[in-house]
Structure formats: structure tokens, C-alpha cells
Structure 1
């Protein structure tokens, strides 16, 4: 009997994290249908070589444990920042002795300040496990859907054992950007992702991407790595993501500085994303500086947590003459505050160089907020004629769109965003399950459809 075992290990272990993939995993799991066409759908985690059914994905709302998990999340971010600092210092060292000394100092500090405390927190959190999950025995014919960000986990040997026991492996692919554009990431992260993708090409029986664009890229990459014959024996499909901000609370407080920004009549253009190189914030600033130089009074609001390789960009923002006048930045907005921003902005602007999906576009447009985006294939897939597009080689094209919309009540897109429709997370979760199942025993018609841009 086939069962869909939908894996969510990282989000289970870090329920307070709310960035892109974590938001997707949490919403898909929370909206996962009990069954599809008679096939049971079970959220699972893999911990220390064992499989567990998830009873509660989120925390238990016990202040002590919640505080501990919040502290662990901050400690992990500090550990990552400390590692980045070590990487920068290592590049500046010219002597082998200095490099070695720096490495030893880094390892000792990381062990004492980060590794040991995080391991102790993990041990304390084990007391919560019986209330959040229960042991589950796998069966031949089960399908393990690797939904979460599994490239930094340690369950690969266990997943391989499951496959030897007759469990199918399905990999959800969010994007291939660390492979296709490694310059946007730290070297080690790109290496880890590449090693994971090597493993998944040898392990997975099928692939579900989050867009048709990424599905086609995955198929091409598999053909390149394993050859057309082996790639043709696999299956490739996709599903689309939902749009609700699930952590938004109607009675929660909106960031006061955010409400003050929207209190003045000048229109606000909103950018929502992690601050990292591929999101192209420098282009965004270039374009708005051109608009301001031409006399525009619009304001730009950048919302997103601080990521990596963005020191120069942050310095540019913090030293900008328009900061807190026409340029604003928020790095820790809640879903409630983000909902408020979507509801009060004039337009979303999204100049990303490359994406697997572009969730902020969907979140904005589903709320009736028109969007301007890079002219890249995935944004065309999502926005169609309802979005306005600009040339990534020419910041002036975005500046012209901004000024044009500032001076007109007509958004510069072929069709009105009010007529645009998108699925919610319930439909997205069901779509993932249904499209996985339809590929397990494909009929000729289904097999033909999965090689086309089918809806």
C-alpha cells in the first residue's frame, strides 16, 4: 500500500524560522490533505536514523522551550556570521602559519561558544519529542517526499536504507541557483549544495519543482549529469506555491516605524526579500536614485532579513542621504507588519537576477498590489500580462516605470492585477500530493503531459 511520507525535518527542528523555504514547508505540511485518491499523506521527520510521524509541526507554546528554540536560532545565526567573519579573515591571510593559527582559534571559539551550547539545547529539546512526533514504521511502496531543505542534514544514509527497503524517493527542488550561479553564495554553501545534488541524482526516483521553469532546468541538469537514457527513466513535474501569510494576526501590533512611513501621502514602492547578492538591491537603488534625480518624490521600502555577501550594500543603505527620508529598511518585520506593508504600498518591485519562484510577487499580487519585476522566465510564468517588467541591464527602465506610475493612476501592465488569480496553500499542498501520485504509475497521456508546460 502506497503512502506519501512528506518530510519536514529542518522546520520541525527550527519552528521559529520563517524565511522562504521554511514558510513553504510549514504551509504545505499544515495544509497537507489526510489522503489523496485513497493514498494516505503523512508528515514525517527523520531524526537520528529513525522515522517519526509529525503530530505538531510548531512549538508546544511552552515559554521555556520556545525561549530555548528562539535562543538556538539566534545562536545559529551568530555561528553563521562568525564563520563568515573567519572566511573573510582567512582570505586576507598571506602566511600558512597565520592561516593555521586563525583556523585553530576559529574552531576552538566555535566549539565553546556555538557547537557545545547548541548540542546541549538539542538534548533538552528531546523532552518535547513525544508530544510533537511518534515513531513510524516504513513500508515497501511508501514514497518519501523530501520537501524540506535537506542539503545541510545528516539523514542521507538513513534515506538510502529506506530506498533499499523499497521506499521511493521524491525530491522537491526549489531552484538550482547554487549550481547555475555559485557567485551569489559562499563557496562552502555552493559546494554543499552541489554535493547534495550529486546525491539526489543517484537517489531520487522523481523530481517535483516549484515551477515549470525550474522543472525544465532540473531535467536538463539531470540529462547533463547522468545522460539522457538514465534521465528519461526518471520523472519530472512541478507544483505552484500558495500565498497566505500564515503567521499574520489581525490583532497583532504593526511596527510603529512602518505605520509612520505610510502616514505621509508620497507613494511607497516595496521590495520584500532576504538581502543577498542575487536579489539585486544595488540595481534597485540605482533605479530609484535615477527617479529621485528626475524629481520623483516616491519612497522605497526594503523589507527583509540580512543574508550574506551584503556588507557593501548595507553600508550603502546606512550611509545613503535619503535614508529615513525617501529610503527605508526593515530587517525583522513580522507577518502582521508585512501584511500591512502589502496593503498600503503603491507597488511591489522585485529586481532579482534569478529565482526558483518569487513568493513575494504572489503574496503581493494576491492582495491586489501590482508588481514590477525583472524580465526573467520565472516571473513571466507567474505574472504573465499582469506584471510590469524591466531590463536588468538598464536601471533606467525601472526608473521610467516608477515615474510613469507615480504620475498616473494606470499601472503600466497589459492587464489589471484585480483580474489575476492564484492558488492558496491548501490547493498548493494538494497539488504537490496529486502530481506526485500521478507520476508513480504514469499513463501514456500523463507521461506526455509531464514533458510539456501543463497546468
Structure 2
């Protein structure tokens, strides 16, 4: 084996996005060891059918450029929300003529408001590429680790070519939720993810998940799709994620409204996640409404960017009688503000239906903030006896945990979170590399791998 090539294309192209997968990719790449056991480790991107070594993951030193990229990311999110609004309006419309008129109006308005500005921003970004990456020639025996989100990528045919040239392919899998719980996503994303999983089933030699729970799910899914014998020709492993918030700045200002929230004597319970259906914010509101009705003075702080299929939830929050009294929402917090929230909250609450890992749990608990989570396998894997768990079918179970904690001051977990320990991003990156190499090296180079050649 020659080198380990760790791919980070989406984060390289969108350096200001700071959601779950992008946070993982950025931190793993930042902490990527130069070499392990004599094997060189290189961050790479694939752009327009070519392979590049990353010299600088994100542009630095140009405030105007940074501001432009930040504006571009926000404009992209706004464009997606505008598309969702148009799609919902189109589905409600029964007149064929009106639907056609709406479609034309949408195309023209989207072109002016989003497409043209985003293309101009991309053109500016292209000028920075020579400073941030350099062409790299692949070699037989290289191992390409697909770390970034690639189900929407356009480089899959290029990966197939690399495989035909003798490059091994390793896929990092964050979760299988679009396959196991498609109701939480748009149909198009489910289709894209399913097609991508079919592709990595045919293409990858090994799979690294971000938890033992997901590793077992991936092995089971492959066995169902291709049979035990074929699945046995692949290898499966996992690594755990780190916990540091790497985008903090000493001179950054904490969100004033957030800071005022934590200056009050009432306890604040914090929820950190993208606003989307599987995070189960409705359950959270149901539970806290019960706690408030029972006399709780707790405040609920919801932090997370606006995602998809959440219009009803947002409307419920906006019209809630406790909004800005005992219920607060923040949709664009910096890492500095998020660190402040973790450091001053009474507990984290995380009622998610399903997760691949649950990064906010680790971020909170590593800072000594106790966590209450839904009773699902992955949270048991991460939190063990240090977390308190509630029943997703009974909001009262969370309400009771909040009330008991508020009244007794004793967090309702078997063990004290102060005794809980977790790895940082440096160890997480090392885990990914070491476990990948361990599995790749365990496979004899002369062993026949029927799936290793793409048509």
C-alpha cells in the first residue's frame, strides 16, 4: 500500500458550513496525522475528474473572501428553503395553468435571486483554488477514504476509474437513516441516498462507521442486499467522534440574547440540533409544556439551524405563549456562543428518534453538562450509565426527569458525568486512520476481490 488519501471535497468547497458531517470532516482533516506506521496520510479532493492534494482546507487571511463565502452558504440555505416553499405551493395547486405560471415565476426569480449570485461567488472561489490545493497523481495501492458526504457528489465515475487503476476504496458511513427512516426526508434525498448506497455496495472494499451501532447496521444491510458470502469479502469497522468546538474565536461576541438568557436564575435546558423531523422537537415541547403545567420554572433553549420539513414546528414555536419567556430559539449560533450555552446550561435534552452518533451529547458531556436522551441504542453506546434516558412514546417521562432534577438538584443518572471521559478530535482522526490501515493490511494483496473492479 502506498498512501491513505482522505477525501474532503464538500467541506473544501463549502468551508463555512458547520453542520454535523461537515464538523466531523473538518476536524478529522485538521488533525490528520502525516503518517502512521510508515504510511503517508494525505487530505484530498476530487474536482472535475481530477485528484488534488489539499494544502489549505479553508481560505484564510482574506476577510472579504471569508465574508463572501459566509454569504454564499447562507444564500444556498435560503435558496433551498425557497425551493421547498415553491414545491409545497405547487403540490397544493390544482390548476395546470397556474402550476405552469408558478413554475416560470419560480425559475425566473430563483435565477435572479440565487443562481446568478451563487455562480459569481463560485467564480471568485475558483481563483483561490491554486492556493488551496495541488494536483496529485494516484498510484496503485493507494487507499481512498470517502470521508465527506458524497451521495450528492459528481465524482463517483472518477472514483470508479481510480478503482480500476488499483486504488482501494473505503467508505465512511455516518448513518443509514434515509434508508431505515425515509419518512424524515424529502423523497429526492431518499432516492439519492439509496442510489449512493447501492453504489458503495458495489464499489467499496471496506466500511468505517462512526459508531459500533451503525457498523452493525451497515453489515446487516449489505448482507440483506448481496448475501452473507459477498458481504464477507468486505470489512467493517468504526471510529468515534471528538468533542472540541474548533471554530471558536477569543474576540468573538456571544449572542447578546443568549447571554441574557443565562444570566437569569432559572435553570436552562438546552437542545442542540438542526431543526428537522427526526430530532423530535414536538416531543420536546410536549414534555416541557407538561413540566411547566406542573410548576417547573425551567427554561428551554433550542439551538440549531433551520432544516427541512419543519414549517409546522416553527409555526408552533412562533405562536407559543411561552416564547421568549420560558421558550427560546436560536438558529445561527457561532461556536463561541454554543460553547457559552454548553457551559451555562443545567442539562442537555436530546429526544431524537434515531441517530448515527449524537455529536451534541459528546460535546455537552465532555464539558461536564449532564445529558438526558431518548432511550435508543446509539445513545446507550455513547452515554452508558452517565446519561438519563426517557421513553419516546411518553413525553411525561422527560417531564418527570426535568421536574425531579429541578426539585432535588440530583441528576437522575446512575453515574456522575464528572467521571465520564471521551476522546478529542486528534484521537478520533487517529482512530479512523489506524483502524482503516489495520483492516486494509489484514487483506492479502493477492486475495481475489470480485467486487473490486467496476464495469
The verdict on a shared fold, with TM-score over 0.5 as the criterion, is yes
Which residue is equivalent to 1:89? Answer: 89
Any idea what SS the aligned residue of 1:441 has?
helix
Return the alpha-carbon distance in structure 2 between the equivalents of residues 57 and 92 of structure 1: 43
Return the alpha-carbon distance in structure 2 between the equivalents of residues 30 and 163 of structure 1: 26
Return the alpha-carbon distance in structure 2 between the equivalents of residues 314 and 256 of structure 1: 22
Return the alpha-carbon distance in structure 2 between the equivalents of residues 78 and 213 of structure 1: 34
Which residue is equivalent to 1:375? Answer: 375
- Aligned pairs for 1:164-183 (under 5 A) are 164-183=164-183
2:72 counterpart of 1:72? yes
Q: How far does the alpha carbon of each residue in 1:396-451 deviate from its partner, in whole angstroms, 9 at most, with x for none?
A: 0000000000011211000010111100000000000001001113279xxxxxxx
Which residue is equivalent to 2:442? Answer: 442
Return the alpha-carbon distance in structure 2 between the equivalents of residues 364 and 109 of structure 1: 42
Return the alpha-carbon distance in structure 2 between the equivalents of residues 111 and 232 of structure 1: 49
Return the alpha-carbon distance in structure 1 between the equivalents of residues 323 and 113 of structure 2: 35
What are the ranges of 5 or more consecutive residues in structure 1 without an aligned counterpart? Answer: 445-455
Which residue is equivalent to 2:451? Answer: none
2:77 counterpart of 1:63? no
Return the alpha-carbon distance in structure 2 between the equivalents of residues 121 and 249 of structure 1: 25
Q: Taking structure 1 as the reference length, what is the TM-score of the superposition?
A: 0.95
Which residue is equivalent to 2:25? Answer: 25
Any idea what SS the aligned residue of 1:439 has?
helix
Report the Cα offset of residue 255 of structure 1: 1.0
Q: How far does the alpha carbon of each residue in 1:258-305 deviate from its partner, in whole angstroms, 9 at most, with x for none?
A: 111111111111101111100000000000000010011111111111
Return the alpha-carbon distance in structure 2 between the equivalents of residues 263 and 110 of structure 1: 43
Q: How far does the alpha carbon of each residue in 1:301-350 deviate from its partner, in whole angstroms, 9 at most, with x for none?
A: 11111111111111111111111111111111111111111111110000
Which residue is equivalent to 1:329? Answer: 329
Return the alpha-carbon distance in structure 2 between the equivalents of residues 63 and 443 of structure 1: 48
Report the Cα offset of residue 256 of structure 1: 1.2
- CA distance change for structure 1 residues 144 and 378 in 2, over 3 Å: closer, same or farther? same
Which residue is equivalent to 1:198? Answer: 198
Report the Cα offset of residue 246 of structure 1: 0.6
Which residue is equivalent to 1:307? Answer: 307
Which has the higher mean CA deviation after the structures are superposed, 97-106 or 34-43? Answer: 97-106
Report the Cα offset of residue 99 of structure 1: 3.6
- Aligned pairs for 1:259-338 (under 5 A) are 259-338=259-338
- Aligned pairs for 1:375-454 (under 5 A) are 375-442=375-442
Report the Cα offset of residue 85 of structure 1: 1.2
Report the Cα offset of residue 81 of structure 1: 1.1
Which has the higher mean CA deviation after the structures are superposed, 116-125 or 8-17? Answer: 116-125
- CA distance change for structure 1 residues 203 and 443 in 2, over 3 Å: closer, same or farther? closer
- CA distance change for structure 1 residues 202 and 95 in 2, over 3 Å: closer, same or farther? farther
Report the Cα offset of residue 250 of structure 1: 3.4
Q: Taking structure 2 as the reference length, what is the TM-score of the superposition?
A: 0.95
Report the Cα offset of residue 97 of structure 1: 4.3
Which residue is equivalent to 2:115? Answer: 115
Which residue is equivalent to 1:52? Answer: 52
Return the alpha-carbon distance in structure 2 between the equivalents of residues 195 and 129 of structure 1: 30
Which residue is equivalent to 2:448? Answer: none
What are the ranges of 5 or more consecutive residues in structure 2 without an aligned counterpart? Answer: 445-455
Q: How far does the alpha carbon of each residue in 1:5-56 deviate from its partner, in whole angstroms, 9 at most, with x for none?
A: 0000010011111111110000000000001111100000011111111111
Q: CA RMSD in A?
A: 1.4
Return the alpha-carbon distance in structure 2 between the equivalents of residues 114 and 329 of structure 1: 27
Return the alpha-carbon distance in structure 2 between the equivalents of residues 224 and 109 of structure 1: 46
Return the alpha-carbon distance in structure 2 between the equivalents of residues 200 and 95 of structure 1: 42
Which has the higher mean CA deviation after the structures are superposed, 118-127 or 281-290? Answer: 118-127
Return the alpha-carbon distance in structure 1 between the equivalents of residues 235 and 101 of structure 2: 49
Return the alpha-carbon distance in structure 2 between the equivalents of residues 196 and 23 of structure 1: 21
- Aligned pairs for 1:208-223 (under 5 A) are 208-223=208-223
Which has the higher mean CA deviation after the structures are superposed, 220-229 or 40-49? Answer: 220-229
Which residue is equivalent to 1:363? Answer: 363
